Amino acid sequence: MTSKDEVRGDISRARRARGEPERERARVEIRRWALQGLAALALPAGARVACYEPLASEPGSIELLVELHRAGYEVIVPITQQDKDLDWAVWTLTRQARRPLGLSAIATASVVFVPAFAVDRQGHRLGRGGGSYDRALTRVRPQTPLVALLFDGELIDDVPVADWDLPVTAVITPQGWQEVGPGGTPEQAMKHHC
Amino acid present at 135: R
Please report which confidence band the pLDDT of residue 1 belongs to, taking 50, 70 and 90 as the band edges.
low
Phi, psi of 123 (to 5 degrees): 95, 0
Pairing of strands 74-80, 48-50: parallel
Evaluate the CA torsion angle 147, 149, 154, 160 in order and state its sign: negative
Q: Can you give the pLDDT at residue 86? A: 97
In tens, the pLDDT along 42-90 reads 999 999 999 999 999 999 999 999 999 999 999 999 999 999 999 999 9
Higher pLDDT, residue 152 or 3 = 152
Give CA–CA dist 52/175, Å, rounded: 21
In tens, the pLDDT along 110-160 reads 999 999 999 999 999 999 888 899 999 999 999 999 999 999 999 999 998
Pairing of strands 86-90, 146-149: unpaired
Give the distance, in angstroms, between the CA of residue 59 and the centroid of all CA atoms in the same chain. Answer: 9
Pairing of strands 86-90, 125-126: unpaired
Please report which confidence band the pLDDT of residue 162 belongs to, taking 50, 70 and 90 as the band edges.
confident
146 strand-pairing partners: 112
Q: Can you give the pLDDT at residue 129? A: 81
Cβ atoms < 10 Å from Cβ of 142? 4
